Structure 1
Amino acid sequence: MKLSRTDILLMAFCTGLIVANIYYCQPLVILVAKEFGLTESTAGKISYLTQAGYALGLFLIVPLGDMFERKKQILLITGLAIAALLLAAFSHSFFLLEVACVLIGASSIVPQLILPMAANLSSDEERGQTIGIIMSGLLIGILASRAVSGSIGFIWGWRSVYFMAAGICTLLLGLMARRFPVSRPSFQGTYTELMWSMWHYIKTQPVLREASLINFLAFAILSAFWTTMVLFLANPPFSFQTLQIGLFGIAGAAGALAAPLVGKLSGGKNPRNNVIVGLSLQLISILTFYFTGNHLYLFVIGIILIDIGQQAIHVTNQTRIYAILPEARNRLNTVFMSISFVGASVGSALGLWLWDKGQWPLFCLGSAIVITLNIIIYYVYNHKLQK
């Protein structure tokens, strides 16, 4: 079966709405802190717990896409996501909310099952562009989730956001059951053999190691920013409310618009060049954040740059790993995305720590150091891969 344009757009639509589950919590930190009588940095734990849950789900569940039929797996896990979102909505203690956030993250891995499905059904020439389009949906979901969450949370309270998300996933469940194609598994061994095979790929595939390590640090930077910016904008000189903070997510839409172009370029002769472009944009964005002061237009420019940079890094690396071993795309994607979202979780925790120690200036300095380290890693591997 070959994917039509409609199929690809449907996959992008579902990917964006499901991945949004991971990011709804970020603008809600202030509201959660007020309800449970916590500091904002303590309430911010729900951000990295959700990302840690996502990394756990990626590592334990996504590899099964090479072993079992993907459509059934997608539908089952979406059902679990609905239950986790409802648990968060009904949480009456912060501990229960923390547990719910881990489960929300673990059950929101459906996009990482959709992407290998789309890669398998695309030709070599069209794969990069297909991944870019679906990644556009994913990024729009991430950005829109923050704006929608901040607005709805401000008007009806943070619990209403999780009720809304559960309703959306219920509708998607019916849509995916009706329209998604059935896929054939490619792995015939046991679950233990499946998991061990991923370690084999880490040891034997230098492109996978490089792409995963660079993505780990790139995701750490992006996640640290989106977690810490809530505290930056909520405090003087801005003192913005949840509604206003959430709207800043819209500024990153340029990254979503760039994804199909990046995907198309990723099919070129040397797609790896896109990675250093993305890292450079991340570094420039951090410099703009540092010099923002009271000038919000600089802050918005920084958001646009950091999201375009992230798309250049992520879409390029994902296209590169899908080209390694077609029969193991779910497992390669598992290694790649698990490491990426461990990076996101570490980044959120690092951002909160830097904020507590030195607020925005120290966050910018720490981020610049991490990006510089990532650029060094890029050039070290540049030498290794050319041997």
Structure 2
Amino acid sequence: MTPIQYPHEAPGHTGLPRRLVLLLAIGAGMSVASLYYSQPMLGVLAGDLHASAQAAGLVPTLNQLGYALGILLCAPLGDRYDRRRVILAKCGLLALALAVGGLAPGMVTLLCASLAIGLTATVAQDFVPAAATLARIEHRGRIVGTVMTGLLLGILLSRVGSGLIAGVWGWRAVYLIAALGMVLVGLASARWVPRFEPTTTVGYGALLASLAALWRSHPALRRATWAQAMLAVGFSAFWSTLVVMLQGAPFHLGSAAAGAFGLAGAAGALMAPIAGR
């Protein structure tokens, strides 16, 4: 697809309006952050819903399971349909899932909402290829690196924000504020993200089947997939257990202290534009 020109606004040195690049970075960060809001406040959440630590631990587990299923089943839709429509649909559904989580009367509803949040948070994986498609080839690495910075900061700082908000206004406020944020991202995307021509006309089933062919044909893809899978498992296991440990003896630390651990990785996320360049 040829990058779309914006005659109403002077583009930056990369050929894209700066506010569009910023929107894509914010959209990627806020959507992927939805997977991690729950982790610093698992102790508070479990106490409020009268759930065990094991039941509370299923919340981030279902977030990640939904995300994995969403990447498998939903991410290919961006090749078959207008990616702008996919982004808008997922933003709306993610906002709805977050709102249901924030209003959940019990653990069962929250767990169902957690799975839905994971499925629809894959909109993050639509913002990144949108940036790659729109950017000129000579600036693509820099643009994608900037959007990835937003995504990585969303992963890391989501815990800081949710921990602080949960400590002041409670865990439900985290979900409801996040739902409002995704509504705003969706509205901004409807205004500024251009339409995309589909890159394939094959059916959905054939599109999914092509993933198996790619897996068989590219050893580098298999290695990267396994490496990222193991990193994700270790990353989630650390955060899911850290919060419960900090909540109990001998630490007795709240959600804000647990969320502050996310600051340790924020500096690494800022290196993404440099790596992209």
Matched residue, 1:151 = 164
- Residue among 196, 209, 218 paired with 2:222: 209
Matched residue, 2:276 = 263
Distance 1:60 1:3, change over 3 A: same
- Residue among 92, 98, 105 paired with 1:92: 105
Q: Distance in 2 between matches of 1:252 and 1:191?
A: 38
What is the DSSP-based 3-state SS (H/G/I as helix, E as strand, rest coil) of the residue aligned with 1:184?
coil
Check the 8 A contact 1:3/1:118 in 2, yes or no.
Answer: no
The one of the two structures with greater contact order (alpha-carbon pairs below 8 A, sep at least 6) is: 2
Do structure 1's residue 73 and structure 2's residue 81 form an aligned pair? no
Segments of 5+ residues of structure 1 without an aligned counterpart are 265-387
Q: Alpha carbon RMSD of aligned pairs, Å?
A: 1.5
Count of residue pairs brought into register by the alignment: 264
Shift of 1:72: 0.8
Do structure 1's residue 30 and structure 2's residue 16 form an aligned pair? no
- Aligned ranges 1:46-65 → 2 under 5 Å: 46-65=59-78
Check the 8 A contact 1:14/1:172 in 2, yes or no.
Answer: yes
Matched residue, 1:174 = 187
- Aligned ranges 1:1-387 → 2 under 5 Å: 1=3, 2-264=15-277
Q: Distance in 1 between matches of 2:28 and 2:97?
A: 18
Q: Distance in 1 between matches of 2:141 and 2:54?
A: 39
The residue type paired with residue 81 of structure 2 is: F
C-alpha deviations, 1:287-311, integer Å up to 9, x for none? xxxxxxxxxxxxxxxxxxxxxxxxx
Check the 8 A contact 2:51/2:107 in 1, yes or no.
Answer: no
Shift of 1:15: 1.1
C-alpha deviations, 1:171-219, integer Å up to 9, x for none? 1111111111211111111111111111111111122111111111122
The residue type paired with residue 73 of structure 1 is: V
C-alpha deviations, 1:56-95, integer Å up to 9, x for none? 1111111010010000110011111111111111211101
The residue type paired with residue 202 of structure 1 is: W
Shift of 1:4: 4.0
Q: Distance in 2 between matches of 1:194 and 1:75?
A: 21
C-alpha deviations, 1:29-80, integer Å up to 9, x for none? 1012112222323311101101111111111111010010000110011111
What is the DSSP-based 3-state SS (H/G/I as helix, E as strand, rest coil) of the residue aligned with 1:62?
coil
Instruction: Report percent identity of matched pairs.
Output: 39
Shift of 1:124: 4.0
What is the DSSP-based 3-state SS (H/G/I as helix, E as strand, rest coil) of the residue aligned with 1:33?
helix
C-alpha deviations, 1:89-120, integer Å up to 9, x for none? 12111011100000011111111011111112
What is the DSSP-based 3-state SS (H/G/I as helix, E as strand, rest coil) of the residue aligned with 2:95?
helix
Check the 8 A contact 1:28/1:242 in 2, yes or no.
Answer: yes
Check the 8 A contact 1:58/1:109 in 2, yes or no.
Answer: yes
Segments of 5+ residues of structure 2 without an aligned counterpart are 4-14
Shift of 1:12: 0.6
Q: Distance in 2 between matches of 1:129 and 1:220?
A: 28
Shift of 1:7: 2.5
| Structure showing the higher helix proportion among its residues | 1
The residue type paired with residue 129 of structure 1 is: R
The residue type paired with residue 212 of structure 1 is: T
Q: Distance in 1 between matches of 2:213 and 2:106?
A: 42
Matched residue, 2:7 = none
What TM-score results when the alignment is normalised by the length of structure 1? 0.65
What TM-score results when the alignment is normalised by the length of structure 2? 0.90
C-alpha deviations, 1:250-305, integer Å up to 9, x for none? 222112112222223xxxxxxxxxxxxxxxxxxxxxxxxxxxxxxxxxxxxxxxxx
Check the 8 A contact 1:81/1:108 in 2, yes or no.
Answer: yes
The residue type paired with residue 24 of structure 2 is: M
